[in-house]
């Protein structure tokens, strides 16, 4: 890997390699861009095949966080960390505390959180050594983000409905919700209240049945996801669900859901959806309620305020969809351009000298 060439082409500011042989710590902290604020992003623990694979993952994920924060109006930068190891067997208090001290050395340039392979317990160990950790006593407990994430997805879906059918309301629309987990549970509730006809599925059928029964939706099997006629397909399970196999089977007019990285290959599969006249609401935009939730910890958590902010994902999505339509570009191209524009303008604003008592003689 040509490390500096890669960092410069992807726009990263800093990558920190952390090692501690006594505790077994091997960590990579990637800070992509801090133009908007401190870099925030979770710590992922995974058995990477190689050091290079771990670095690549940290670089890709941290860059994604910059775009998510930029487009959603949050004043945070993009960062992500990865710990190399097996989350089932390689964890210890000492290792996470050693990692916490490394986070502390960055003095708030990077703030961490839970991610794949890490838990609240791990965050508590990190918090013994640094306050720059969310989701525990560190910066200020915001709790389960999924109701906020679901509100953002619902708001993005209403904007998508407006652009497609001329009305925000989902009343009478058939919505297939894939996944019956945390985000989907709240999303199904919001949709049913709006009058949508909701079909829900999960690989664990009992979860889908329980959720459907609770809100008056219909449970379907995972195989029926692509054969059930619908207006909206809402992926809320795992990534890469929009691919060569699945896109030709879609009967919907809109795809809008909370799952991360829905497009298996971003450009190719976004083009495939556009060619089939299916509106794709970019995942990182409509699921940014989770980030808004964590971001609000930094200034003192207020659930009502953050829910209102997540409702604002309606306007953010609408702006992206209309920009994409006006310029005849992909919706992901429009959202990336809007994120980059905000970054550029805030960097410019921060170029104004506002006085510093730390510089002698000024």
CB 262 within 8 A of CB 183: no
CA–CA separation, 129 and 252 (whole Å): 49
Closest distance to ligand NAD from the beta carbon of 264 (Å): 14
Task: Give the number of other CB atoms < 10 A from CB of residue 215.
Answer: 15
- Residues touching ligand NAD, count (CB under 6 A): 24
User: Of 130 and 178, which has the nearer Cβ to ligand NAD?
Assistant: 178
Closest distance to ligand NAD from the beta carbon of 355 (Å): 39
> Which residues 159-218 are close enough to bind ligand NAD by CB under 6 A?
178-184, 201-204, 207
Indicate whether 146 belongs to the interface with ligand NAD (CB under 6 A). yes
User: Of 111 and 184, which has the nearer Cβ to ligand NAD?
Assistant: 184
Is residue 249 flagged as an active site residue?
Answer: no
Closest distance to ligand NAD from the beta carbon of 177 (Å): 9
Closest distance to ligand NAD from the beta carbon of 133 (Å): 17
Residue of 47, 68, 80, 345 marked active site: 80
Picking from 265, 290, 91, 87, the residue whose alpha carbon sits closest to that of residue 181 is 290
Q: Are strands 232-235 and 218-219 parallel, antiparallel or unpaired?
A: unpaired
Phi, psi for residue 145 in degrees, rounded to 5: -80, -10
* Residue window 277-316: x/- pattern of binding to ligand NAD, with contact defined by CB under 6 A: ----------x--x--------------------------
- Please give the structure tokens belonging to residue 251: 């009967």
CB 252 within 8 A of CB 230: yes
Q: Which residues carry out catalysis?
A: 80
Summarize as ranges the residues that interact with ligand NAD (CB under 6 A).
145-146, 149, 178-184, 201-204, 207, 222, 236-238, 258-260, 287, 290
């Amino acid at each position: 890997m040509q490390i500096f060439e890669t960092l410069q082409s992807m726009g990263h500011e800093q990558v920190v390699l952390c090692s501690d042989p006594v505790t077994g710590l091997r960590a990579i902290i990637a800070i992509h861009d801090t133009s908007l604020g401190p870099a925030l992003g979770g710590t992922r623990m995974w058995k990477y095949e190689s050091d290079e694979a771990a670095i690549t993952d940290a670089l890709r994920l941290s860059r994604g966080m910059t775009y998510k924060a930029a487009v959603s109006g949050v004043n945070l930068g993009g960062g992500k960390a990865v710990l190399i190891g097996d989350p089932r067997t390689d964890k210890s208090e000492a290792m996470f505390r050693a990692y916490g001290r490394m986070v502390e050395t960055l003095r708030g340039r990077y703030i961490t959180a839970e991610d794949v392979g890490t838990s609240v317990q791990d965050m508590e160990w990190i918090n013994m050594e640094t306050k720059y950790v969310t989701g525990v006593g560190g910066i200020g407990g915001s709790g389960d983000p999924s109701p906020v994430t679901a509100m953002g997805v619902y708001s993005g879906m209403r904007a998508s409905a407006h652009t497609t059918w001329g009305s925000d309301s989902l009343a009478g629309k058939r919505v297939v919700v894939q996944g019956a987990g945390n985000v989907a549970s709240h999303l199904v509730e919001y949709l049913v209240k709006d009058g949508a006809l909701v079909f829900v599925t999960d690989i664990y059928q009992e979860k889908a049945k329980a959720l459907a029964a609770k809100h008056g939706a219909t449970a379907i099997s995972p195989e029926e996801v692509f054969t059930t006629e619908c207006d909206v397909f809402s992926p809320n399970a795992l990534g890469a669900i929009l691919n060569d196999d699945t896109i030709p089977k879609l009967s919907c007019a809109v795809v809008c859901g909370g799952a991360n990285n829905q497009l298996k290959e971003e450009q190719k599969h976004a083009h495939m959806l556009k060619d089939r006249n299916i509106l794709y609401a970019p995942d990182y935009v409509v699921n940014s309620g989770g980030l808004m939730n964590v971001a609000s910890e930094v200034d003192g958590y207020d659930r009502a305020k953050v829910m209102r902010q997540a409702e604002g994902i309606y306007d953010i999505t609408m702006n992206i969809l209309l920009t994409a339509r006006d310029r005849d570009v992909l919706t992901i191209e429009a959202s990336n351009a809007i994120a980059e524009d905000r970054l550029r303008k805030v960097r410019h604003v921060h170029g104004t000298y506002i006085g510093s008592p730390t510089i002698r003689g000024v």
